[in-house]
């Protein structure tokens, strides 16, 4: 039996915002020859509790059906959702949890799948002319198979879709916004428009990257296979480590005329790098034709290494990459004498030295100068200056206490009388001969800097306590402690 069954020759409408529909056969069954609208925005629908042929939501009849699911779950044994013979427009929005296959029926259908929706099963468009839209602003993943779709589009500005299964799109896949990572097998041509991005480690059909589009093979370091022709007029983004680099493997022709090569060194500064690493094959051209065109520009985050590209490398028609030392000396980046002295010493060490390798792969001048500062040791001299200067705080306290105890500064020269005080009572000085206990607060702060030299800021503060008393007429004996 069904939890809810609707059957009519006219229009039908169903809305669920909460609760659970649990059916032995179907959770929700709608059979109509008219237009049908179904909205499930909460709760759950379950079919197949007592039948292996049970379906979560089932449509029958030739009418046009529109269905949306958000923040709800649908589960079925034979299928989670089954379309009828009419057209079917299905939207699986954020928060949708679909457990089971989705089958769109025999009419012309469309599926909108939003990031934040989950489908555990395959999605089969079955018959008709059917379209797929992957959208959303977050991160979405589908590990099942897309079957029998005519065309697909990714329009997920600010979002990313990851496909892990097999997908067939007779009229191809178009990426117009956001990012698409293909880790499975996508049969059909792929076009990446301006502002969009293609990546992954799977196989795609013939691929075209428009101006402003980006192809970034791999999820980190990896290879993506193009089963067909490859034309990139946008950007090819290659990430490299000391051991490997991204690669595009192409079975058809290769055209990179005017494309930009973006080199991303990972890590940007690593002592494990050696500029003799490589050459790396970044485009493996399995076809017999030569590569058409060259990169119009190369973007790299390196100060001291230049790229060396060979468009007839590998087995004769591959694109290979090497890194070679350019003629910019390490000291040319330095500004201060300390920086230039350290840079010259490191540059003289040559390849194979860990410090040389780390500096050779620097890509930011400011960061490089900061590294020279740290290696120069100038902070030690500055710290010594600060420590010596702060020792006066305790010395000053001792001297001030002695002056107070002896009621003067120790000067013996007498001055001529300039004037006499008026008659009357006067304050007598404290008696200093006896034992005394005292305390005082201390504090100091300062700053040392110069053009291009690391700035040192210092501050100190605390309290000093002491006891003292007179001894042997002209002596004062005491002890101090402080924090």
- At residue 445, the pLDDT reads 81
- At residue 269, the pLDDT reads 44
Is it the case that residue 415 has pLDDT exceeding 60? Answer: no
Average pLDDT over all residues of the chain: 88
Mean pLDDT, rounded, for 115-142: 96
* Interatomic CA distance for residues 266 and 250, integer angstroms: 24
From 197, 263, 269, 267, select the one nearest 234 (Cα to Cα). Answer: 197
Is it the case that residue 390 has pLDDT exceeding 80? Answer: no
| Torsion region of 379: left, alpha or beta (phi above 0 gives left; psi -120 to 50 gives alpha) | alpha
- At residue 92, the pLDDT reads 98
**Which of 27-36, 200-209, 231-240, 392-401 has the lowest average pLDDT?**
392-401
Tokens of 406: 């002896």
Is it the case that residue 272 has pLDDT exceeding 60? Answer: no
What confidence tier does 433 reach under pLDDT thresholds 50, 70, 90? low
Percentage of residues of the chain with pLDDT beyond 90: 56
What confidence tier does 477 reach under pLDDT thresholds 50, 70, 90? confident
- At residue 332, the pLDDT reads 93
CB 371 within 8 A of CB 345: no
- At residue 268, the pLDDT reads 45
Q: What is the pLDDT of residues 77-122, one digit of tens each?
A: 999 999 999 999 999 999 999 999 999 999 999 999 999 999 999 9
Mean pLDDT, rounded, for 472-479: 82
- At residue 450, the pLDDT reads 65
Mean pLDDT, rounded, for 41-70: 93
What confidence tier does 274 reach under pLDDT thresholds 50, 70, 90? low
* Interatomic CA distance for residues 65 and 141, integer angstroms: 26
Q: Give bridge partners of residue 91 from the DSSP assignment.
A: 68, 112
Mean pLDDT, rounded, for 22-49: 92
* Interatomic CA distance for residues 353 and 271, integer angstroms: 8
From 154, 227, 240, 232, select the one nearest 189 (Cα to Cα). Answer: 227
Question: Tokens 């457990």 — which residue?
Answer: 99
**Which of 10-24, 46-60, 173-187, 402-416 has the lowest average pLDDT?**
402-416
What confidence tier does 374 reach under pLDDT thresholds 50, 70, 90? confident
* Interatomic CA distance for residues 204 and 193, integer angstroms: 16
From 322, 256, 262, 245, select the one nearest 291 (Cα to Cα). Answer: 256
Is it the case that residue 185 has pLDDT exceeding 90? Answer: yes
pTM for the model: 0.75
Tokens of 179: 């990012």
């Amino acid at each position: 039996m069904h939890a809810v069954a609707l059957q009519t020759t006219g229009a039908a409408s169903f809305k669920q915002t909460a609760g659970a529909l649990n059916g032995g056969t179907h959770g929700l069954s709608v059979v109509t020859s008219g237009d049908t609208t179904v909205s499930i925005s909460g709760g759950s629908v379950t079919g197949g509790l007592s039948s292996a042929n049970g379906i979560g939501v089932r449509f029958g009849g030739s009418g046009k059906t529109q269905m949306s699911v958000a923040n709800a779950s649908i589960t079925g044994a034979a299928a989670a959702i089954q379309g009828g013979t009419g057209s079917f427009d299905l939207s699986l929005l954020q928060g949708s949890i679909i457990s089971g296959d989705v089958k769109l029926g025999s009419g012309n259908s469309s599926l909108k799948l939003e990031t934040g929706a989950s489908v555990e099963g395959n999605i089969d468009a079955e018959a008709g002319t059917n379209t797929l839209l992957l959208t959303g602003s977050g991160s979405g993943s589908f590990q099942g198979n897309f079957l029998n779709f005519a065309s697909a589009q990714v329009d997920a500005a600010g979002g990313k879709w990851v496909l892990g299964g097999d997908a067939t799109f007779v009229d191809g896949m178009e990426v117009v916004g956001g990012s698409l990572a293909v880790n499975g097998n996508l049969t059909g041509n792929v076009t990446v428009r301006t502002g969009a991005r293609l990546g992954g480690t799977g196989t795609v059909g013939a691929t075209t990257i428009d101006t402003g589009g980006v192809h970034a093979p791999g999820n980190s370091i990896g290879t993506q296979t193009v089963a067909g022709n490859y034309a990139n007029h946008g950007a090819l983004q290659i990430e490299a480590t000391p051991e490997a680099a991204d690669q595009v493997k192409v079975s058809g022709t290769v055209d990179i005329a005017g494309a930009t090569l973006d080199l991303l060194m990972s890590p940007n500064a690593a002592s494990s790098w050696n500029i003799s690493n490589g050459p790396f094959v970044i485009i493996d051209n399995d076809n017999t034709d030569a590569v058409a065109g060259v990169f119009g520009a190369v973007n790299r985050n390196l100060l001291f290494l230049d790229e060396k590209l060979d468009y007839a490398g590998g087995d004769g028609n591959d694109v290979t990459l090497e890194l070679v030392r350019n003629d910019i000396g390490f000291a040319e980046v330095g500004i201060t004498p300390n920086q230039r002295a350290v840079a010259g010493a490191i540059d003289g060490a040559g390849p194979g030295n860990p410090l040389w390798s780390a500096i050779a792969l620097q890509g930011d001048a400011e960061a490089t100068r900061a590294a020279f500062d740290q290696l120069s040791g100038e902070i030690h001299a500055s710290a010594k200056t600060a420590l010596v200067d702060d020792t006066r705080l305790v010395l000053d306290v001792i001297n001030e206490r002695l002056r107070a105890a002896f009621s003067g500064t120790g000067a013996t020269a007498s001055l001529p009388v300039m004037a006499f005080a008026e008659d009357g009572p006067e304050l007598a000085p404290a008696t200093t001969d006896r034992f005394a206990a005292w305390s005082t607060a201390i504090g100091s702060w300062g700053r040392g800097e110069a053009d291009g030299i690391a700035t040192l800021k210092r501050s100190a503060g605390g309290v000093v306590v002491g006891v003292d008393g007179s001894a042997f007429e002209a002596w004062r004996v005491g002890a101090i402690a402080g924090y």
